[in-house]
């Protein structure tokens, strides 16, 4: 391993664009082009490699990569022995978690997992699904699905275990959910030996800090305003802040300056209330990172 280099796995596929965009908000620009599996990054201390999320945990565990981003679902699927550094709640569609669900055709008689005893389940999450049904003492045959899993019931399988964010694809294929097996989100994971190295541990922790800061800033804005002393309590009461607002006395003792963070969705309602309560010089500004 080259001294002073961190080998970092970036998930190839559905999470790739969202991950690269997250790194850019965190301060790193990653350039993935053509068919290369080794994108460039504007940090001489990092070497990137594109790896399928399904395989990431294995490569991190074995030391081919020092760290990587992958779903908690694939860490569990592979039963990988890795350091879990942080959870990062982002995905290809939303900022929420994804769910692995047990789904059956809308018109099937199956209502619960026990009804599938002796049946065929198609999924990409084979080992986890086997363990799930074994834990419930339900005998099923779990088959690996190479894709297009939603179209397999009822002809090629009796049910599927599939990942979903919104459920729209399942509904479009006339499937209904009868059980949620797990919720999952992206995680930054590290090889245990690499994480024991002081330099790599600091580098990985710094990446974790900045990625979380970029996520925390999403959907939030900063707000600055001035307020007279007699109006401070009334104005402060209108601020649904992330934390208590920072209050600084203005020069000359002519009131106070407030600085706070708000959910962007409520700003249009809050600013008129602040103005009515006596606030002046109200300035809204965008945020790129919030370190909590």
Q: How far apart are alpha carbons 104 and 161 in whole angstroms?
A: 9
Mean pLDDT by 10 residues, the chain (292 residues): 81 91 95 88 96 96 97 95 94 71 96 96 97 97 93 95 90 94 95 97 97 93 94 90 82 88 92 95 94 82
pLDDT at 95: 59
156 and 87 belong to one structural domain:
no
Of 217, 240, 271, which marks where a domain is finished? 217
103 and 245 belong to one structural domain:
no
pLDDT at 34: 73
Of 133, 160, 183, which marks where a domain is finished? 183
pLDDT at 3: 55
134 and 278 belong to one structural domain:
no
pLDDT at 14: 82
* Residue 250: C-alpha distances to residues 19, 46, 256 (Å): 42, 45, 5
Q: How far apart are alpha carbons 233 and 175 in whole angstroms?
A: 54
pTM for this predicted structure? 0.85
pLDDT at 122: 97
* Domain of residue 243, CATH code: 3.30.70.120
pLDDT at 128: 97
72 and 195 belong to one structural domain:
yes
* Domain of residue 44, CATH code: 3.40.190.10
Check if the beta carbon of residue 48 is closer than 8 Å to that of residue 40. Answer: yes
Q: Which two tokens stand for residue 30?
A: 């990653």
pLDDT at 71: 94
- Give backbone dihedrals phi and psi of 180, rounded to 5 degrees, phi first: -100, 120
pLDDT at 243: 66
109 and 170 belong to one structural domain:
yes
Is residue 77 in a domain?
A: yes
Helix axes 198-217, 16-26, angle to 10 degrees: 100
Q: How far apart are alpha carbons 92 and 120 in whole angstroms?
A: 29
pLDDT at 33: 81
């Amino acid at each position: 391993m080259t001294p002073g280099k961190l080998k970092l796995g970036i998930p190839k596929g559905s999470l790739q664009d969202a991950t690269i965009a997250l790194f850019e908000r965190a301060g790193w620009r990653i350039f993935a082009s053509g068919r290369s599996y080794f994108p460039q990054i504007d940090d001489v201390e990092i070497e990137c490699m594109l790896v399928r999320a399904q395989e990431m945990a294995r490569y991190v565990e074995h030391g081919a990569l020092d760290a990587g981003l992958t779903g908690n679902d694939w860490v569990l699927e592979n039963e990988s022995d890795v350091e879990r550094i942080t959870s990062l709640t982002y995905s290809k569609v939303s900022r929420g978690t994804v769910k692995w669900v047990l789904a059956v055709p809308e018109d099937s008689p199956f209502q619960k997992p026990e009804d599938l005893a002796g049946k065929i389940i198609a999924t990409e999450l084979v080992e986890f699904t086997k363990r799930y049904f074994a834990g419930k003492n339900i005998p099923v045959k779990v088959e690996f699905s190479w894709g297009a899993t939603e179209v397999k019931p009822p002809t090629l399988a009796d049910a599927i275990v599939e990942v979903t964010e919104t459920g729209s694809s399942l509904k479009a294929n006339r499937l209904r959910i009868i059980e949620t097996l797990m919720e999952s989100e992206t995680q930054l994971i590290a090889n245990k030996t690499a994480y024991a190295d002081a330099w790599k541990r600091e580098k990985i922790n710094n990446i974790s800090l900045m990625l979380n800061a970029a996520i925390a800033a999403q959907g939030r804005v900063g707000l600055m305003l001035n307020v007279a002393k007699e109006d401070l309590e009334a104005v402060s009461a209108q601020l649904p802040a992330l934390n208590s607002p920072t209050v600084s006395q203005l020069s000359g003792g002519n009131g106070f300056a407030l600085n706070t963070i708000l959910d962007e969705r409520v700003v249009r309602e809050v600013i008129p209330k602040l103005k009515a309560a006596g606030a002046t010089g109200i300035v809204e500004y965008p945020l790129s990172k919030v370190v909590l």
